[in-house]
């Protein structure tokens, strides 16, 4: 065996099993469409190193079933020596069989993992794994991916799989009728269902998807999530992170570089120009304070809350409840998933738009993600920088972003040919999230923030300092300053802030601090900064996901929306005095 390819329906637990087999960290969640690209890892089976490939879930191998063709492409070009591990959901046996029969028709050596084995019995489902194995002619091993039960047996079975393709390959029934008949026969033989009345807990769970409770529950969940994130992050910053930095780290580096004379270029670069870590713009002061003190606690809190929403199964229900409202924007409710992910970081948000079917939807979704969902670093900085002017100013920023997105969505839905496809999505049962997997997922996402954002923030601050040293700022101000003042009534010196916003949005919001803007100007500047261009990381991800024409269109929409929103806020605020 050279490669082991995991394949199965969406949300059967392929990623959890992949993580078990390879020991790699990979994001697994409780909703269909978590995995949008294939992942590769290695494991040892029977004393040999094997490449393991995780694929996005599909219901069948024909184009109608797969939103994108990644999985079908991999499975249709199997090499000799490839083994297919068909992951089936033991609580959804009959439905899983369509894909299983198609996989068996490929002729490659195949093993079946009957995942979620532990959940079958409580639901009144009894499966005879031996009989299933006999019916299909391949080994079938019960496993529990999230706990690891049965993995050892699975690996032992995989080690015994013959290298050669099965001869002759099982034929896939040609007509639908023959297929259903075969599936019906297999199911009838291997599965016993005992009828069971819904429990009280299940009755309660149903309220979260039934009106009017569903709407109430969604509002409470959103408000509670925001409150938990805000309160816990603010508490941590105020009583742990900020004191540590101000009383521990700052005096330390000040002593360390005490030998450098005032005005020395290195001092300016490392420590910046003033004592306050939000205003100094040194690589070691602002460059570390912004990501590690002001933003990181928000990232941790957000990702913990997100993981609970994902793993419990509520996120997909929220998407269904929001479906009606998303249709107004030309999207269906499942677009809520990339939106929510985008509130953490836009890169995974943009990647998650792959679960949407058409280029039209992807274009609308990406535009709106850029316009109305500032990522967590931006939100954290808006809360702390614009928050200086009171909660009304913060509300004005987020309110303007929401209205801008809404207006753009209405307009795009009207202008672009076509309409939103209908929602069609599976809702997995609720499950209690395991604390360990919540923690693992959060650590993974926080790690990627630290690995990607911190160097970028430091590079951005260094770039601004170097620009200042060589006089580039004056040039930027002269070119971009006048339009900024004329259109948005912002000081021309903000030009450099806008330009740096392309590198990192959180830093550019911090760059506003030394300007001592009025409340109105701060709102305008924050709105424009969030909207006018995506950051470079988001931009490169977008460029990979969309056709160049669509990318240009999305950027143009952002720039136009930034100008329109900025002018609107300026006019409204000056009218209100």
Q: Report the residue number, 206 or 388, with the smaller CB distance to other proteins.
A: 206
Q: Which is nearer to other proteins, 333 or 342 (CB)?
A: 333
Q: Pattern of binders to other proteins over 120-149, x per CB under 8 A? A: ---x-x------------------------
Among 49, 174, 194, 211, binds other proteins (CB under 8 A): 211
Q: Which stretch binds other proteins (CB under 8 A): 84-92, 279-287, 392-400, 537-545?
A: 84-92
Strand spans (E) along 12-129:
39-45, 48-54, 82-89, 110-115, 125-127
218 binds other proteins per the rule CB under 8 A: no
Q: How far is the CB of 253 from other proteins (least distance, A)?
A: 54
64 binds other proteins (CB under 8 A): yes
The residue (of 209 and 292) whose beta carbon lies closer to other proteins is 209
Residue burial 182-217, b: 16+ Cβ < 10 Å; e: rest: ebeebbeebbeeeeeeeeeeeeebeebbeeeebeeb
Residue 105 interacting with other proteins (CB under 8 A): no
**Site for other proteins contains 49 (CB under 8 A):** no
Task: Map the footprint of other proteins across residues 527-556, applying CB under 8 A.
Answer: none
Is residue 312 near other proteins by the rule CB under 8 A? no
Q: Which of 114, 214, 535, 551 binds other proteins (CB under 8 A)?
A: 214
Q: How far apart (Å, rounded) are the C-alpha atoms in residues 559 and 534?
A: 10
Is position 449 an interface residue for other proteins (rule: CB under 8 A)? no
Q: Is the Cβ of residue 322 or residue 401 nearer to other proteins in the bound state?
A: 322
Strand partners, 40: 53
Q: Provide the minimum distance between the beta carbon of 178 and other proteins in the complex, in angstroms, as a whole number.
A: 14
Strand, helix or coil for residue 113: strand
Stretch that binds other proteins, among 14-22, 205-213, 271-279, 378-386 (CB under 8 A): 205-213
- Give the CA dihedral 425, 427, 428, 433, nearest 10 degrees: 110
Kindly tell me which residue out of 65, 241, 446, 466 binds other proteins, with binding defined by CB under 8 A: 65
- 1 lies in the binding site for other proteins (CB under 8 A): no
Write the DSSP symbol of residue 150: T
Least Å from the CB of residue 73 to other proteins: 19
Encoded tokens for 267: 């001092």
CB of 200 to other proteins, least distance (A): 16
435: buried, middle or exposed (CB in 10 Å: 19+, 13-18, 0-12)?
Answer: exposed
Cβ of residue 126: shortest distance to other proteins, in angstroms? 12
Residue 55, SS3 per DSSP: coil
- DSSP secondary structure code for residue 85 in this structure: E
**Positions 158 through 177 that interact with other proteins (CB under 8 A):** 176
When asked if residue 418 is in the footprint of other proteins (CB under 8 A), the reply is: no
Contacts of 83 (CB under 8 A, 6+ apart): 1, 3, 4, 5, 108, 109, 110, 111, 158, 161
- If binding is defined by CB under 8 A, does position 379 make contact with other proteins? no
Determine if 422 is a binding residue for other proteins (CB under 8 A): yes
Which residue number, 332 or 504, has a Cβ lying nearer to other proteins? 332
118 belongs to the binding site for other proteins (CB under 8 A): no
Per rule CB under 8 A, is residue 202 in the interface with other proteins?
Answer: no
Q: What is the full DSSP assignment across 158-181?
A: HHTS-SSPPSSPPPPPSSHHHHHH
Spatial strand order of the sheet with 3-8 comes to: 39-45, 48-54, 3-8, 82-89, 110-115, 140-142
By beta-carbon proximity to other proteins, the closer residue of 364 and 381 is: 364
Rama region for 116: left / alpha / beta (φ>0; ψ in -120 to 50; rest): left
193 strand-pairing partners: 125
Residue whose structure tokens are 């969940």? 221
* Residue 422: exposure state from Cβ atoms within 10 A (0-12, 13-18, ≥19): exposed
Question: Which is nearer to other proteins, 201 or 211 (by Cβ)?
Answer: 211
The DSSP code sequence of 255-308 is HHTTTSPTT-HHHHHHH-SSSSTTTS--TTTHHHIIIIIIIHHHHHHHHHHHHH
Contact footprint for other proteins (CB under 8 A): 11, 59-60, 62, 64-65, 89, 91-92, 94-95, 98, 119, 123, 125, 176, 180, 187, 191, 193, 206, 209-211, 214, 320-321, 323-324, 327, 332-333, 421-429
């Amino acid at each position: 065996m050279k490669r082991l390819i995991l394949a199965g329906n969406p949300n059967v637990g392929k990623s959890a099993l992949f993580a078990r087999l390879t020991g790699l960290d990979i994001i697994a969640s409780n909703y269909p469409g978590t995995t949008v690209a294939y992942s590769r890892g290695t494991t040892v089976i029977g004393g040999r190193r094997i490449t393991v490939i995780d694929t996005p879930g599909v219901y069948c191998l024909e184009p109608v079933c797969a939103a994108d063709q990644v999985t079908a492409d991999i499975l249709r070009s199997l090499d000799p020596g490839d083994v297919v591990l068909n992951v089936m959901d033991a609580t959804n046996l009959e439905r899983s069989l369509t894909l299983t029969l198609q996989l068996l028709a490929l002729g490659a050596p195949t093993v079946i993992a009957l995942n979620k084995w532990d959940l079958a019995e409580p639901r009144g489902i009894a499966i005879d794994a031996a009989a299933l194995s006999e019916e299909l002619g391949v080994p079938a091993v019960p496993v529990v991916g999230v706990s690891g039960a049965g993995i050892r047996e699975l690996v032992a079975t995989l080690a015994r799989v013959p290298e050669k393709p099965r001869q002759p390959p099982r034929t896939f029934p040609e007509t639908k009728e023959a297929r259903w008949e075969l599936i019906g026969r297999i199911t009838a033989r291997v599965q016993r269902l005992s009828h069971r009345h819904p429990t009280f807990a299940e009755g309660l769970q149903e309220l979260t998807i039934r009106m009017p409770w569903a709407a109430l529950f969604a509002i409470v969940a959103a408000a509670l999530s925001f409150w938990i994130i805000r309160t816990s992050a603010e508490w941590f910053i105020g009583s742990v992170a900020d004191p540590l930095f101000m009383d521990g780290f700052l005096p330390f580096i000040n002593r360390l570089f005490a030998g450098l004379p005032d005005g020395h270029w290195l001092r300016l670069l490392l420590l910046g120009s003033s004592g306050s870590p939000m205003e100094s713009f040194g690589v070691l002061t602002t460059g570390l304070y912004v990501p590690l003190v002001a933003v990181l606690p928000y990232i941790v809190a957000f990702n913990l809350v997100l993981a609970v929403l994902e793993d419990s199964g509520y996120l997909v229900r929220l998407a269904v409840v929001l479906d009606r409202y998303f249709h107004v924007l030309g999207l269906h409710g499942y677009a809520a998933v990339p939106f929510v992910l985008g509130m953490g970081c836009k890169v995974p948000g943009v990647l998650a738009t792959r679960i949407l079917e058409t280029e039209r939807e992807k274009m609308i979704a990406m535009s709106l993600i850029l316009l109305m969902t500032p990522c967590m670093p931006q939100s954290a900085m808006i809360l702390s920088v614009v928050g200086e002017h009171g909660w009304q100013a913060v509300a004005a920023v987020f309110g303007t972003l929401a209205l801008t997105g809404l207006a753009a969505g209405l307009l795009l839905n009207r202008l672009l040919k076509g309409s939103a496809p209908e929602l069609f999505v599976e809702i997995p049962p609720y499950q209690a999230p395991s604390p360990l997997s919540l923690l693992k997922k959060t650590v993974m996402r926080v790690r990627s923030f630290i690995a990607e954002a911190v160097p970028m923030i430091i590079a951005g601050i260094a770039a601004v300092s170097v620009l200042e040293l060589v006089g580039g700022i004056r040039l930027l101000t002269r070119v971009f300053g006048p339009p900024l003042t004329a259109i948005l009534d912002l000081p021309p010196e903000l030009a450099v802030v806008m330009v740096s916003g392309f590198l990192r949005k959180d830093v550019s919001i911090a760059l506003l601090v030394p300007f001592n803007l009025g409340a109105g100007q701060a709102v305008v500047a924050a709105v424009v900064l969030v909207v006018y261009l995506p950051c470079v990381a988001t931009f490169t991800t977008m460029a990979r996901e969309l056709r160049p024409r669509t990318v240009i269109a999305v950027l143009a929409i952002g720039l136009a929306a930034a100008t329109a929103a900025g002018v609107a806020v300026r006019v409204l605020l000056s009218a209100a005095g």
